[in-house]
Structure 1
Amino acid sequence: MAFKNFDLWLPAYLKNRAAHFAHPGKPERLWVTIADHYEPCGGNASTEIATARVRAWQERWPEIAAAAPKDVNGNQPCYTFFYPQEEYRSEVLEAIAEIVRTGVADVDVHIHHDHETNDGFRQKITEFCKRLHEDHGLLRTREGRLVFGFIHGNWALDNSRPDGRWCGVKGELQALLNLGCYADFTMPSLPSPTQSRVVNQIYWTTGDPALPRGFDKGIPATRGGGTKDGLLMIPGPLGVRYRDRLVPRMETGELAVYDPPTPYRVKRWLDLAPRIGGNVFLKLYAHGAREDNAGALLGTDGKPGTLAPMFRWIDEAARERNLEIRWVSAYGMFDAVDRVTRGVAQGAEVPA
């Protein structure tokens, strides 16, 4: 990955690294989640192909999760499938729901759209969330309302592409908040020009809702600082890594056939991941429905996958740094952030 759009991320990255080295702190807990841009119907796949893609995860993921080191609460890793609204097919979603019922997976919301209207966006998200919840037992309620985590397709959150494509919704961040979005997990989006100017920091957006890219400004989440107005952004690690290749490359926390996890990448993730007080929040992402990525992550009959050793490497790296591991879903990570910012003790188990 070339160092593209450096004007967006480099100033914030250098500022973040300077603060990290000036005030290193002593983290105590590591929260880990995987947010998959899960598109089983991608490429206009038939329902037969889509269900075969899900079947690979049904067969292999629970075994990988069961074999992974348990966290401090005895939990297995939990994988979150962010399923696209425009790909809704009942039988495909129900197959994913079967994985969720095993306790090692969750489902949240993803969407690809273009030249969208505000009313159309609200209708699509509302109806999709209702289907997920009422027809498949997915999503959850919080304080009396249905809530969801969100990833924007094609990275174009809040109409952020310079050419205006792949979104179109004015004030999309506020629309998401009004619809029940508990947090956005889209970032980082490099090498796309949609990348936020805030990196390696969990924060609430404060940008002008009348303009695109409202996520370029925000209020950082702090321990005991309370929740703020705006949409909560939970990004993954973003930075430069120096090994595994002849030249440096960008690190965005992606898990893919062309960029598998390694022990060095794991350590780099822990150095770059957002922190709040004594808590490190590591969000990784993938496009795991594709056969090439699924084969690399889960393994095939003739070749082991990369997810299984990754969990061991994360456990080993955490032990070296005296960090308690908490494997969580995307919602579980949000709940942990919410507790930290409200000053609630972290001793109790949080939702997966």
Structure 2
Amino acid sequence: MDNCHPEGKWCGVNDELIVLKETGCYADFTLPSAPSETQTSTVNSIYYATDDPLRPKSHDKGVKVKVGRESSGDLMIIQGPLCLNWKERKWGVMPKIEAGDVRKSIPPSEHRVDMWVDQHIHVEGRPEWVFVKIHTHGTQEMDIDTLLGEPTVKMYEYLASKYNDGEKYKMHFVSSREMYNIVKAAEAGKTGNPNKFRDFLIPKPKGV
């Protein structure tokens, strides 16, 4: 995004944040992208990025979304978890990079789920609302057994058993639109059950 590869690969557009804003995009959910060189220096955050149309990678840093603070910039960036996985090591020595990517070669596990939650991605001033955004690279044939099979079933079972006890945790599954709405509700100072704010700003599509 925003011509962020140091060699200019895959994009070539320095003002992409402005283009996205002008064409109706309300947030970007791309990150993290590590270990790619396109990864931003800002990690585990929800923030606003302001485009510099003369320079690439304007979203490298920005202003964090905060309760009571006015929105700013050109595009909200909602990042997923990024950290080092010291339990699952490469060659038995180097910690693996945990970037919330789920597929056959890196199936979900209880330890990975805990790391996603532990990154504590939230709107400043509303730490009790934790946002966990994970991803996969499309439903490619090689990954189907993982994405629609036992590894993912076990992931959901673990999520339900540990993070949906109704006391310490209450879990909500949301779409990208709903996540953005809940972020905006937190920014506006809303409290309580985030489930009430799925349609806070951007309504659901007609007929849904």
Q: TM-score range by the shorter chain?
A: 0.7 to 0.9
**Are 2:130 and 1:280 equivalent residues in the alignment?**
yes
Q: Is the 8 A contact 2:101 2:136 kept in 1?
A: yes
Shift of 1:349: 5.0
- Cα distance in 2 for residues equivalent to 1:289 and 1:240: 26
In structure 1, what is the equivalent of residue 189 of structure 2?
Answer: 343
Show CA shifts across 1:123-173 (max 9, x none). xxxxxxxxxxxxxxxxxxxxxxxxxxxxxxxxxx00111111211112101
In structure 1, what is the equivalent of residue 175 of structure 2?
Answer: 329
Shift of 1:284: 0.2
Shift of 1:287: 1.7
Q: Which has the higher contact order (CA 8 A, sep 6+)?
A: 1
Q: 2:42 aligns with which of 198, 221, 236?
A: 198
Q: Secondary structure at the match of 2:53?
A: coil
Q: 1:183 aligns with which of 10, 17, 27?
A: 27
In structure 1, what is the equivalent of residue 53 of structure 2?
Answer: 209
- Cα distance in 2 for residues equivalent to 1:337 and 1:266: 21
Q: Is the 8 A contact 1:274 1:280 kept in 2?
A: yes
Shift of 1:207: 4.8
Shift of 1:214: 0.4
Q: Secondary structure at the match of 2:26?
A: strand
In structure 1, what is the equivalent of residue 69 of structure 2?
Answer: 225
Show CA shifts across 1:287-321 (max 9, x none). 2321111221112xxxxx32221112122332478
Q: Secondary structure at the match of 2:2?
A: helix
Alignment-mate amino acid for residue 317 of structure 1 = K
- Cα distance in 2 for residues equivalent to 1:311 and 1:198: 29
Q: Is the 8 A contact 2:17 2:50 kept in 1?
A: no
After TM superposition, the score normalised by the length of structure 1 is: 0.51
Alignment-mate amino acid for residue 330 of structure 1 = S
Q: Which has the higher helix share?
A: 1
Alignment-mate amino acid for residue 82 of structure 2 = L
Alignment-mate amino acid for residue 260 of structure 1 = P
- Cα distance in 2 for residues equivalent to 1:174 and 1:235: 19
Shift of 1:174: 1.0
- Cα distance in 1 for residues equivalent to 2:140 and 2:12: 27
- Cα distance in 1 for residues equivalent to 2:16 and 2:48: 14
Q: 1:318 aligns with which of 163, 166, 173?
A: 163
Larger Rg: 1
Alignment-mate amino acid for residue 325 of structure 1 = M
Q: Is the 8 A contact 1:202 1:220 kept in 2?
A: yes
- Cα distance in 1 for residues equivalent to 2:56 and 2:120: 26
**Are 2:165 and 1:165 equivalent residues in the alignment?**
no
The unaligned stretches of length 5 or more in structure 2 are none
- Cα distance in 2 for residues equivalent to 1:317 and 1:213: 38
After TM superposition, the score normalised by the length of structure 2 is: 0.85
% identity of equivalent residues: 35
Shift of 1:279: 1.1
Q: Which has the higher strand share?
A: 1
The unaligned stretches of length 5 or more in structure 1 are 1-156, 300-304
Shift of 1:265: 0.7
In structure 1, what is the equivalent of residue 96 of structure 2?
Answer: 249
- Cα distance in 1 for residues equivalent to 2:158 and 2:26: 30
